[in-house]
Amino acid sequence: MQILRIALSLLSKSVKNMRSDSIVIIPTYNEKENIEAIIRAVTSLPKEFNVLVIDDGSPDGTAQIVKNLMEEELRDRLFLIERTGKLGLGTAYIRGFEWAIEQKYDYIFEMDADFSHNPNDLPRLYAACHDEGYDVSVGSRYISGVNVVNWPIGRVLMSYYASAYVRTILGIKLRDTTAGFVCYKRNVLETIDLDHIRFKGYAFQIEMKYSSLRLGFKVKEVPVIFINRELGTSKMSGGIFSEALFGVVKLRLSKIRGRK
């Protein structure tokens, strides 16, 4: 009996060690055109990444596509959390962060479903944290010029100067403060008080990076090329942009008042 217990313990440790140390969180709302392709692209990389989809009740059947893949060959590498409404990007990521922390993943990624973030760049973000010792790595559109493809010039200028505005107001050096292609080490997300992250849209991305820097974590920007979606519909809106515009002022005031 003792030998059996030892064998089972060793088997359990072996299975745990075989599991990927990395999880890619992909929030979705009506992404049926993209979701299967992006999942297969991520899970076919030489470096093993698991995927967690957070679906906000997509009426187009996005969640069912994920379930079908889970029942096939991706049963142990693909996971799904379904929510009952469109609750916002920030809350989707926070739910995903909490799940990933519970599951003890060491490297936790944010990524869009629409191929604007190239899955082939995931190993580069991973290497910045795993090999180079950074706590957070950011897939940056603006670290080496303006690396954006198929965006209208107005949106490029809005995004570029919005990041410059954020750097000025918050006094940070990051070139792409609203980037949504990010790798966090687990201890960063365990240290940030996720219950007090206040923003839901693009200001969420700013707040997470700002919180990481204020807590003393090392952040590296990794240059990537951002390609505008070809399929599906963009979720950008004026309200999301306004939240980011005025949100940074609130973040700056919170620093002045000594709040984390």
User: If you ran DSSP here, which 8-state letter would residue 138 be given?
Assistant: E
Give the model's confidence band at 251: pLDDT under 50 very low, under 70 low, under 90 confident, else very high. Answer: confident
**4 lies in some domain:** no
Beta bridge partners of 22: 107
Q: Which pairs from 196-201 meet CB under 8 Å and 24+ separation?
A: 196/260, 197/90, 197/94, 198/247, 198/250, 199/90, 199/243, 199/244, 199/247, 200/87, 200/88, 200/89, 200/90, 200/91, 200/243, 201/88, 201/89, 201/90, 201/239, 201/240, 201/241, 201/243, 201/244
Amino acid of residue 238 = G
pLDDT of residue 241: 57
**9 lies in some domain:** no
**What does the pLDDT average to over 133-141?**
97
pLDDT over 70 at 237, yes or no: no
Average pLDDT, the chain: 86
pLDDT of residue 209: 96
Structure-token pair, residue 100: 């990933």
**12 lies in some domain:** no
CATH number of the domain enclosing 147: 3.90.550.10
In which domain, by residue range, is 193 found? 18-256
pLDDT over 80 at 252, yes or no: no
**What does the pLDDT average to over 22-29?**
97
**68 lies in some domain:** yes
**8 lies in some domain:** no
**126 lies in some domain:** yes
pLDDT of residue 242: 63
Query: Which residues lie below 8 Å from residue 58, measured CB to CB, with a gap of 6+?
Result: 28, 29, 30, 31, 32
Structure-token pair, residue 119: 């899955």
pLDDT over 80 at 53, yes or no: yes
**What does the pLDDT average to over 234-254?**
61
If one counts every other C-beta atom within 10 angstroms of the C-beta of residue 233, the result is 11
% of the chain beyond a pLDDT of 70: 82
Task: Give per-residue pLDDT as tens, 144-196.
Answer: 888 888 777 877 887 778 888 888 888 899 999 989 999 999 999 999 999 98
Cα separation, 137 vs 76, whole angstroms? 26
Domain count, the chain: 1
Structure-token pair, residue 135: 């706590």
Q: Helices 35-43 and 62-71, interaxial angle, to 10°?
A: 40
